[in-house]
Amino acid sequence: MRDSLSAYTTFGIGGRARRISVARSRSELIDLAPDALVLGRGSNVLVSDDGYDGDAVINRYDDIVFNGDLVVAGSGACLASVSSAAARCGLSGLEWAIGIPGSVGGAVRMNAGAFGGAISDRLLYADVLRGGAVVRLGRGELGFSYRHSAIADDDVVIAAAFLLDKISAAVTLARCGEYTERRRSKQPSGKSAGSVFKNPSGISVGKVLDGAGLKGLRNGGAVISPVHANIIVNTGDATADDVCGLIRIMKGELEARGIEAKEEIIYVGGFKNGVLGRLPHAYDIQQKGR
């Protein structure tokens, strides 16, 4: 039996995998991850219309444990949920992540960030499945930079620990409210995978693409958001090919202006028109094989 991966991505797009399993605990994730595609919350993933010719594991190991100012989260936990839970406890340092739908594991791999904050600011260590064994890597061993870490494609993040500051819950919750409003004013509603391209230093890709007149451009069931020109929205029946057509146009506009176009979206499965450049890491996929 083949199962659709579209239900496990925020785009709601994609074909079937050979088999889908769900890992709900640390031990299940460690047992199921080898030789499988491991998906967290699917928020930066575009799955081919032809699907993925292999096994997939949906990571739902989402335990969150508090110990003083230390928070340890399973890699399948939603980053926004960790941020919210920490804020309610009066723990500060992850408020910027409120509203981010990606998983903890993907966020660590990608060094996710927003509003001037990043995972690397607060990460104490990550437990990583590497070469069949779980190793604990400290922040200094993870090679963090902008939207990047040294976690390899064959690695799977199992859990992560964050060291936060203890302050008033009223303050942390107020900050979360402010970030929520800022995100709501700038991010479109609907099914999407967030930003398509990374922002080069000092450049807002969304503003460049807006200046190129791409807001609202439609291809089949996919449209470049009228709210944010670096985001593509599935209006209900978009295919992966529809999305790829828009990405090609966006990439062309950026490159015509001398801007390097590096995708945040990661492609899973075979694409009829080939891969759109080098496959990037994304903050909501933990990947093994393709």
From the candidates 103, 147, 149, 225, give the one annotated as an active-site residue: 147
Rounded CA separation 222/1 (Å) = 29
Contact of 221 with 239, CB cutoff 8 Å: yes
From the candidates 95, 253, 263, 264, give the one annotated as an active-site residue: 264
- Identify the CA nearest to 61 among candidates 89, 40, 82: 40
Chain centroid to Cα 110, Å, comes to: 7
Task: List Cα–Cα distances, 16 to 3, 7, 19, 49, 121, in angstroms.
Answer: 5, 10, 8, 8, 37
From the candidates 195, 225, 253, 263, give the one annotated as an active-site residue: 195
Q: Who's near 83: CB < 8 A, 6+ residues apart?
A: 94, 95, 96, 97, 98, 100, 176
Task: List Cα–Cα distances, 49 to 5, 8, 83, 134, in angstroms.
Answer: 10, 14, 34, 34
Q: Which amino acid is at 187?
A: Q
Phi-psi region of 57 (alpha: psi -120 to 50; beta: other; left: phi over 0): beta
Contact of 43 with 283, CB cutoff 8 Å: yes
178 part of the active site: no
End-to-end Cα distance, the chain: 20
147 part of the active site: yes
Q: Who's near 140: CB < 8 A, 6+ residues apart?
A: none
195 part of the active site: yes
Rounded CA separation 143/166 (Å) = 27
113: three-class secondary structure by DSSP: strand
Active site members: 147, 195, 264
